[in-house]
């Protein structure tokens, strides 16, 4: 079965390149997107070099601008800061129609990022769905995974809550989560994204308090039930 082509908009940071690395290692073609193609191309080249040093073939990773990345992909993830989410989605929404959008946005409001401050719409995931419309299946995921861990090569003991109005789209994203070395769980409609987004501020507080990179785990289920 042919794997979908993946794009990561705003994918030049630690979170975006961490996901790109893990998906490329799992055999996916990954396109890193940025506002400018040269920045994305540089990030892709850096990632290719890093993976080559670790004995991993990364020829399936390339970079381009956000619009071209969204147009070329089957499934698109957006990993930009909250204040860049809306303008980025407005720019690429035509290219997203008929596709799955993985929204990783957390509505953090500096400087008090360790305090839950959800937007008027309820969540960043809901904002994404409102912007791109019903022609795009928005799935909210990865908010509670530290970018630090994604940059590491080992499997992660961190679970991912997956929210979206389309069950098949959630299942497709869970498959990508598993390919990245984690467990994903159906967590309900896009309205429930507020819970996962709010947990990020709680985890930031815990990380500062205890000097760690905390995540979440779902208990009470056998691994095969994830």
Helix (H, G, I), strand (E, B) or coil at 9: strand
Give the model's confidence band at 221: pLDDT under 50 very low, under 70 low, under 90 confident, else very high: confident
pLDDT at 154: 72
Average pLDDT of the chain? 94
Pairwise CA distance, residues 55 & 51, whole Å: 6
Helix (H, G, I), strand (E, B) or coil at 64: strand
Give the model's confidence band at 44: pLDDT under 50 very low, under 70 low, under 90 confident, else very high: very high
Query: Would you put residue 142 in left (φ > 0), alpha (ψ -120 to 50) or beta?
Result: left
pLDDT at 116: 97
The pLDDT tens digits of the residues spanning 140-173 come to: 999 999 998 888 767 788 999 999 999 999 999 9
Flag whether pLDDT at 94 surpasses 80. Answer: yes
State the DSSP code for 42.
H
Flag whether pLDDT at 225 surpasses 60. Answer: no
Fold for domain 6-225? Answer: Rossmann fold (3.40.50)
φ, ψ (nearest 5 deg) of residue 141:
-165, 165
Give the model's confidence band at 42: pLDDT under 50 very low, under 70 low, under 90 confident, else very high: very high
Pairwise CA distance, residues 128 & 133, whole Å: 8
pLDDT at 224: 54
Domain borders along the chain are: 6-225
In 3D space, the residue among 28, 18, 171, 10 whose CA is nearest the CA of residue 92 turns out to be: 10
Question: Burial, 206: exposed, middle or buried (Cβ in 10 Å; 0-12, 13-18, 19+)?
Answer: middle
Flag whether pLDDT at 176 surpasses 80. Answer: yes
What does pTM read for this prediction? 0.95
φ, ψ (nearest 5 deg) of residue 33:
-110, 155
Pairwise CA distance, residues 31 & 27, whole Å: 13
Q: What is the DSSP string of 119-188?
A: -TTS-HHHHHHHHH-TTSEEEE--TTS-HHHHTSSS----EEEEEES-HHHHHHHHHHHHHTTSEEEE--
């Amino acid at each position: 079965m042919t794997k979908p082509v993946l794009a990561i908009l705003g994918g030049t940071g630690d979170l975006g390149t961490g996901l790109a690395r893990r998906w490329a290692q799992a055999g996916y073609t990954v396109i890193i997107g940025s506002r400018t193609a040269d920045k994305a191309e540089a990030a892709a080249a850096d990632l290719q070099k890093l993976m080559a040093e670790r004995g991993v073939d990364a020829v399936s990773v390339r970079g381009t601008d956000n619009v071209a990345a969204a147009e070329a992909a089957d499934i698109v993830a957006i990993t930009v800061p909250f204040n860049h989410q809306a303008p980025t989605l407005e720019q690429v929404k035509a290219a997203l129609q008929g596709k799955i959008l993985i929204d990783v946005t957390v509505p953090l409001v500096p400087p008090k990022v360790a305090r839950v401050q959800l937007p008027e719409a309820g969540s960043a995931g809901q904002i994404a769905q409102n912007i791109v419309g019903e022609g795009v299946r928005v799935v909210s995921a990865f908010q509670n995974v530290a970018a630090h861990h994604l940059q590491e090569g080992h499997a992660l003991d961190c679970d991912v809550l997956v929210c979206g109005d389309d069950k098949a789209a959630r299942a497709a994203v869970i498959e990508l989560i598993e390919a990245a070395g984690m467990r994903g769980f159906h967590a309900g409609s896009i309205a429930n994204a507020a819970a996962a987004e709010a947990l990020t501020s709680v985890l930031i507080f815990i990380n500062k308090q205890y000097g760690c990179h905390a995540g979440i785990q779902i208990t009470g289920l056998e691994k095969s039930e994830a």
